[in-house]
């Protein structure tokens, strides 16, 4: 195994995935950047080349388990057998009243946001197991704190991400693999460009993709208190931190009321 650490990122052509790819490249990692958007990957490659870092890119639809297995295996081979970090980032968001969104669109959101993560975890497992100190980062969301009106299906997919992260962090501890979930509130990316919900109105869209990328780098290499406490969930930004903390200590009726109020429902 060589000395250069490696990171595999899904949905890396834009937004949080792209900012994360650039941050890991700046931190000396070999970056594997995968997406369905090959034009976006090309411009990311140019940007990483300019940094003098190395990136491997390729087409990957996370809903296809065979393509996922092929891309991960190819990347790990190029990385001389090591996979230090697997980032399941690709996702989509549909906002609006549940009944107004076509059922097949709901299914697509479930396929990308949940099955895409399952495919990534499954394909990466043998390589993570073979790499000492390996970490998985899954993109959950502050909508995994309490079911979000106007984002019901999206929010449910992020509860899935939350649960699978918690469960496998315990299950894979025996192999030395750590799992973390990032919980940002709204982030200024293409995902939120055209959405308007009660919570975007009341809470705003304040975070940048770089804010999340910075916290992902920190979660992969945690400070000693976080390491000792084995922190699994990482709310990003002060709003998500307060909401996560509040929901832990407030009674269920109060959490529901707060969510009803901030979503203007």
- Positions annotated as catalytic residues are 154
First to last CA, the chain: 55
Q: Which stretch, 56-64, 73-81, 126-134, 217-225, contacts ligand NAD (CB under 6 A)?
A: 56-64
Residue 180 in contact with ligand NAD, rule: CB under 6 A: no
What's the CA gap between 222 and 230, in Å, rounded?
A: 9
Residue 112 in contact with ligand NAD, rule: CB under 6 A: yes
**Distance from the Cα of residue 258 to its chain's centroid:** 26
Q: Which is nearer to ligand NAD, 12 or 53 (CB)?
A: 12
Q: 254-257 contacts: CB < 8 A, separation 24 or more?
A: 255/146, 256/146
Q: Which is nearer to ligand NAD, 114 or 131 (CB)?
A: 114
Residue 16 in contact with ligand NAD, rule: CB under 6 A: yes
Member of 187, 213, 244, 262 binding ligand NAD (CB under 6 A): 187
Count each helix (H run) and each strand (E run) in the chain, helices first.
12, 7
Q: Is 88 exposed, middle or buried (0-12, 13-18, 19+ CB in 10 A)?
A: buried
**Distance from the Cα of residue 213 to its chain's centroid:** 10
Residue 37 in contact with ligand NAD, rule: CB under 6 A: yes
Residue 139 in contact with ligand NAD, rule: CB under 6 A: yes
Residues that bind ligand NAD (CB under 6 A): 10-11, 13-17, 35-37, 40, 60-63, 89-93, 112, 139, 141, 184, 186-187, 189-192
């Amino acid at each position: 195994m060589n000395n250069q650490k490696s990171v595999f990122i899904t949905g890396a052509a834009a937004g949080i995935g792209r900012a994360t790819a650039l941050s890991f490249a700046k931190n000396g990692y070999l970056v594997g950047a995968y997406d369905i958007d090959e034009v976006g990957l090309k411009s990311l490659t140019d940007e990483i080349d300019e940094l003098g870092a190395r990136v491997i890119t390729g087409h990957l639809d996370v809903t296809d388990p065979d393509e996922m297995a092929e891309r991960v295996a190819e990347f790990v081979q190029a990385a001389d057998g090591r996979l230090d970090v697997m980032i399941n980032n690709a996702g989509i968001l549909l906002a609006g009243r549940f009944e107004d969104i076509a059922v097949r669109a709901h299914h697509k959101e479930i396929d990308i946001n949940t099955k895409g993560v399952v495919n990534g975890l499954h394909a990466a497992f043998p390589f993570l197991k073979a790499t000492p100190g390996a970490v998985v980062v899954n993109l959950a969301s502050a909508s995994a704190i309490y079911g979000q009106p106007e984002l019901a299906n999206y929010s449910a997919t992020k509860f899935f991400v939350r649960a699978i992260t918690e469960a496998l962090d315990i299950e894979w501890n025996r192999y030395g693999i750590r799992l973390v979930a990032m919980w940002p509130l709204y982030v200024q990316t293409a995902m939120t460009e055209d959405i308007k919900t009660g919570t975007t109105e009341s809470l705003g869209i304040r975070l940048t993709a770089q804010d999340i990328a910075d916290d992902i780098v920190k979660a992969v290499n945690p400070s000693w208190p976080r390491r000792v406490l084995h922190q699994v969930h990482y709310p990003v930004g002060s709003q998500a931190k307060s909401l996560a903390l509040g929901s832990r200590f407030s009674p269920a009726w109060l959490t529901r009321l707060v969510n009803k109020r901030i979503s203007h429902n």
